[in-house]
Amino acid sequence: MQFVGSDIKTMNRFAFFSLVLILLSCTKETITNREYPRVTTMAVTNISSAQAVFHGDLFFTSVAVTDYGFVWSNNSFPNINTSPRRSLGSTTTAGQFEATIQGGLIAGKEYTVQAYAISTGFVVYGKVVKFISQ
């Protein structure tokens, strides 16, 4: 099949108008701030039956954090309502944080810990990290 000059011009016009239509239909993406903080649970260190050091990272704080810290449990998913909690207070800055938990751990038992952050209307948890007390 051979194209003649008028067919090529028609195809070029079609391609041009299609491109213009696509470009005109694009909209600029609007980035909106989240209404809640983000937090990560990091590895647990210095583990014994007497203590453990929990580590977390608060890395998105476009809103005031009214409380943050750690919850832990010997269940799968600790939470601020039913699990032991170590509160570190309020903050408006991002960054890594840690807390030493002393006592209450049983040697050889598996525990789970999560970092948490609370802002107005939101409770946000980091991933669950497991550790076994020594």
The domains found in the chain, sorted by start residue, are: 38-132 (2.60.40.10)
Question: From start to end of 28-94, where are the E strands?
Answer: 38-41, 51-60, 67-73, 85-87
Reduce the DSSP state of residue 25 to 3 states and report it: helix
pLDDT of residue 17: 75
CA gap 82, 78 in Å, rounded: 7
Is 57 buried (19+), middle (13-18) or exposed (0-12) by CB count in 10 A?
middle
pLDDT score recorded for residue 76: 82
Q: Give the pLDDT means over successive 10-residue stretches in the chain (134 positions).
A: 65 76 72 82 95 93 89 90 95 93 91 95 95 94
Nearest to 124 by CA among 74, 54, 65: 65
